[in-house]
Amino acid sequence: QVQLVESGGGLVQAGGSLRLSCAASGRTLSGYAMGWFRQAPGKEREFVTGISRSSGSTAYADSVKGRFTISRDNAKNTVYLQMNSLKPEDTANYYCAAGGIPLSQRPSAYGYWGQGTQVTVSS
């Protein structure tokens, strides 16, 4: 069983940047595909980005492509989400997830989830 804890969320102006971190404990992350999802109030949880076990492949939602970058450091047991050129529509609770299906966009493909970190982008 792996525990995931997100950090780095906050309030930022449109056009600004944030870097989210997801730290794991209990198990190492090297054996898991990782992903980031987000959920706004009243909305379904949506896929943001995913990364394979060895960082060889990544995938991004069209809405964030070119602005967000996912990376992982298995030695530090941490995955990151660098968010640049933030827009008000990026406002959501962001969740880190671990699973066995690389780059899956389905929440059901991920068996382990963090508690989320809030990102709010003001106009």
User: What would the mean pLDDT of 5-28 be, rounded to a whole number?
Assistant: 96
User: What are the pLDDT digits (tens) for 104-119?
Assistant: 999 999 999 999 999 9
Burial (CB < 10 A; 0-12, 13-18, 19+), residue 94, is: buried
User: What are the pLDDT digits (tens) for 52-101?
Assistant: 998 789 999 999 999 999 999 989 999 999 999 999 999 999 999 999 88
Q: Are 36 and 81 in contact (CB under 8 A)?
A: yes
Question: Per-residue pLDDT for 18 more than 90?
Answer: yes
Question: Per-residue pLDDT for 47 more than 90?
Answer: yes
Burial (CB < 10 A; 0-12, 13-18, 19+), residue 32, is: buried
Grade residue 1 by pLDDT with cuts at 50, 70 and 90: confident
Grade residue 120 by pLDDT with cuts at 50, 70 and 90: very high
Tell me the β-bridge partners of 121: 12
The per-residue pLDDT for 74 is 87
Fill in the amino acid letter for 79. Answer: V
